[in-house]
Amino acid sequence: MNIGEASRRSGLPPKTIRYYEEIGLIRPARARNGYRDYGERDIHLLRFLQRSRSLGFSIEEARKLLSLYGDENRHSKDVRHLAARRIGEIERKIAELESLKKALGELTEACAGGQGPDCPILDEIAGESARVARPAH
């Protein structure tokens, strides 16, 4: 099948499919005319990659998962280790987002939101701890 059909069946854009081929994640056969010829296995692998990426795995982690998936002698502890490491990254990002939310919430509360020009949100973004002369517009 051509890349358009592979895209439709896998749910991935053709550009992503070409990228995955370029970096060696998939290797579709070539038809006599030189065009890519995707088979059912390619579609399965593309869906596998799409799902692993949607779970937050990086390209290199998806590559490792794909390798483990194809290895009948794999150890499930290796897969578990990758997933646990991803969970740790997600927890770190959640903590970072919670911290950002708290800081922005405090700045929003400190902002009068009236007609005056004073704005602690802009002062914080500008790195100003106290009001200093701002450039003219």
In a domain, 108, yes or no: no
In a domain, 34, yes or no: yes
Q: What is the pLDDT of residues 68-87, one digit of tens each?
A: 999 999 999 999 999 999 99
What is the number of structural domains in the chain? Answer: 1
- What's the confidence (pLDDT) of residue 127? 87
Low-confidence spans in the chain with pLDDT less than 50: none
In a domain, 8, yes or no: yes
In a domain, 17, yes or no: yes
- What's the confidence (pLDDT) of residue 137? 55
Domain that holds residue 49: 1-71
Using CA atoms, how far apart are residues 134 and 117, in angstroms rounded to an integer? 12
In a domain, 36, yes or no: yes
Using CA atoms, how far apart are residues 100 and 21, in angstroms rounded to an integer? 38
In a domain, 58, yes or no: yes
CATH of the domain at 20: 1.10.1660.10
In a domain, 39, yes or no: yes
